Structure formats: structure tokens, C-alpha cells
Amino acid sequence: MLEVEVKYRNADRTAAIATLLNWGATLTQDRTDVDLYFQAPDRDLKATDEAFRLRRIGPKNYLTYKGPRRDTETKTRAEIEVPLGDGDAAATDMERMLVALGYRPVMTVRKKRRVYQFHRDGFDLEACFDSVDRVGEFVELEILAEEAQYEAAKAGLLAAAAELGLSEKEPRSYLGLVLEAQNAPA
């Protein structure tokens, strides 16, 4: 499955949400994500433009691999997300196992996320309004699509972003932004 995604800064959230509601969007989640990113033992994930993380959403735990990005207009990449057991113990055990296998924890990224879901141009879309610790406010639009649907999904995503008034694209990942903020001179 491909994740076709685009992220924006400095959006007029009130106007974007009003437009989403006019389109019939529904607020489906109001949550906090805690993502612990890892560096692989066999390759530099930053150099290969991949990502690997342990995601915690409340008691739920997931391992997520994101492949290299396919284009610069969107952040399209293969995504594999595997649900794990719930709770702190399961997350701690998975972290310990990954470290034992040679994975190195890199950074934890925390965000508060409000997720709106809607259907448009033949696709189910998510609009995520994110407040990311240390780096600010963002809006992400996302479609999960099969390979054969890639071009249509990309066009639909970019059209929805334009109609929502989103214009200041943020090409960097939340991990990259948090690492930059951590390393910025005081």
C-alpha cells in the first residue's frame, strides 16, 4: 500500500475545518501519538530516506516502516504498519528487542493529532491537524492507495489541499524537524 501524503505549515485551521465539514468530513480521532524512531543496524535510514518507528497511540502500539519517498510534490512512499500488543509492557518489550537486534533509538516525536475523515474524488482521505512538540502546528493530508491509483490519488490530494487553502508545504518529516530543533543553537 502507498501512503500519499502532503504536509503544510501555517494553515488557517478554522477555515480549513469549516471547508472539511462542508464536504461532510467527520472528526474521527482526537489523540496523542508518541513515535520512537530507530536507526537500522544494516543501513543509514536517513541516507536511504526510509523511516522505522514504534508508535504509541494511547494503549495501542504499532511498528511502522516507511520506504523511500517517490516524488518531491508529495511524500509518497510504501508504508507497512503492524499492530502490536497493547500497553506499556508490550511497547517496552518491543523496544528492548529492537535494541537487542541492533536498532538504535534516535528520537521520540510527540504530537497531538485531530483526524478528520472524508471521501473525495473516489478516495478516503484523512486531514490531520497536528501540534508537534518543539516544532509547531501542521496540517497533513493523506490517502492510502494501491500502486495503480497513485497518479489519481496524488492529483486528488493536491486538489483538496488547494481548495482547503493550504499552500506552505513542509517537505521535512516531523523527525527531521525535531532533530533540527534539538540541534539549533540556543
Catalytic residues: 37
Return phi, psi of residue 51, to 5°.
-145, 145
Rounded to an integer, what distance in angstroms lies between the CA atom of residue 64 and that of residue 66? Answer: 7
C-alpha cell at 131: 501540534
Rounded to an integer, what distance in angstroms lies between the CA atom of residue 118 and that of residue 98? Answer: 36
Q: Which letter does DSSP use for residue 86 in this model? A: -
Taking alpha carbons only, the member of 128, 164, 135, 150 closest to residue 2 is 150
Geometric angle at alpha carbon 132, from 159 and 74, rounded to 5°: 30
Rounded to an integer, what distance in angstroms lies between the CA atom of residue 98 and that of residue 82? Answer: 14
Alpha helix segments (H runs only) across the chain: 13-22, 45-48, 88-100, 150-163, 174-183
Q: CA 99 from chain center: how many Å?
A: 23
